[in-house]
């Protein structure tokens, strides 16, 4: 085995959004390397099926409900004495403006606010384990228009949800940067990554995506297994060759980023705004 690859036996890895697509592929691969994997998804049947295949443990939570995120955190903390890796992979894109039961835009909540809440709830356990937080972002972050006074996208055109999606993926990078700053010296690492375009259920209801799949005979994009490679790399490699807080494009550090992605003031302000929205505050 490569000396830079962790022996995952005895390691606990939480993968959200792992009932299908690259999340499922990553959960199965990480389990095959010896990790105990918490398979988190919103669909009970698919989540259990992936957990059964991986020999992992299923946890069901719908990130459209922040209370379910809190209950998920409680269940994970009750079940596991250590959490070595939290992979925030849940989220997606919707074609129309939709509000969650918490009153937030669905894209904002599922892609940023819910993972933020889950991470902060689990962070003491991750810190105790000297663990790592990995978040799935996207090169779509380059089209972001982040307005801290309009995090729920009440203003401006919806444009099929793409700008909201890109904005939340910039928020993912900023969140990871601020998390890295806050955990410096604790042994915790934090990384974001772009998996590439994965042929999965992502954007399945969007007309242009349907058309692209038809004309490509279903071969548009990477396979889920290929898309999972950066997540597996970041979860299983001791030294990824870049400092905590780095954004990867696939396995290459410093992918294409919005001009504000390295703004520490913006990252700290987003963190503070997120804390207010989920009802948490820094110690």
* Whether the Cβ atoms of residue 134 and residue 235 lie closer than 8 Å to each other: yes
Question: 17-74 pLDDT, tens per residue?
Answer: 999 999 999 999 999 999 999 999 999 999 999 999 999 999 999 999 999 999 999 9
Marked catalytic residue, from 165, 191, 197, 247 = 165
- Return the exposure string of 96-135: e unless at least 16 CB atoms fall within 10 Å of the residue's CB, then b: eeeebebebbbbbbbbbbbbbbbbbbbbebbeebebbbbb
* Whether the Cβ atoms of residue 208 and residue 6 lie closer than 8 Å to each other: no
Q: Which CATH superfamily is domain 12-278 in?
A: NAD(P)-binding Rossmann-like Domain (3.40.50.720)
Question: 219-248 pLDDT, tens per residue?
Answer: 457 999 999 999 999 999 999 999 999 999
* Whether the Cβ atoms of residue 132 and residue 189 lie closer than 8 Å to each other: yes
Catalytic residue list contains 165: yes
What is the rounded distance in angstroms from the CA atom of residue 24 to the CA atom of residue 45? Answer: 13
pTM for this one? 0.91
């Amino acid at each position: 085995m490569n000396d830079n690859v962790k022996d995952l036996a005895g390691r606990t890895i939480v993968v959200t959004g792992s009932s299908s697509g690259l999340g499922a592929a990553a959960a199965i691969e990480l389990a095959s390397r010896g990790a105990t994997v918490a398979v988190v998804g919103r669909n009970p049947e698919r989540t259990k099926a992936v957990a059964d295949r991986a020999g992992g443990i299923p946890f069901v939570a719908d990130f459209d409900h922040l209370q379910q995120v809190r209950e998920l955190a409680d269940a994970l903390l009750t079940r596991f004495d250590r959490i070595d890796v939290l992979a925030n992979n849940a989220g997606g894109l919707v074609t129309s403006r939709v509000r969650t039961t918490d009153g937030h835009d669905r894209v904002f909540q599922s892609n940023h606010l819910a993972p933020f809440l889950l991470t902060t709830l689990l962070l003491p356990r991750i810190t105790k384990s000297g663990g790592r937080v990995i978040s799935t972002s996207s090169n779509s972050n380059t089209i972001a228009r982040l307005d801290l006074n309009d995090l729920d996208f009440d203003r401006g055109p919806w444009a099929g949800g793409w700008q909201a999606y890109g904005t939340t993926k910039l928020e993912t990078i900023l969140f990871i940067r601020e998390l890295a700053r806050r955990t410096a010296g604790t042994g915790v690492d934090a990384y974001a990554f772009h998996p590439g375009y994965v042929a999965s259920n992502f954007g399945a209801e969007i007309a242009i995506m349907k058309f692209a799949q038809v004309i490509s005979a279903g071969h548009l994009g990477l396979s889920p297994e290929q898309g999972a490679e950066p997540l597996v790399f970041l979860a299983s490699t001791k030294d990824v060759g870049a400092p905590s807080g780095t954004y990867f494009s696939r396995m290459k550090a410093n992918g294409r980023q919005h001009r504000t992605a390295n703004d520490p003031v913006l990252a700290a302000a987003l963190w503070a705004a997120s804390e207010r929205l989920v009802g948490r505050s820094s110690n």
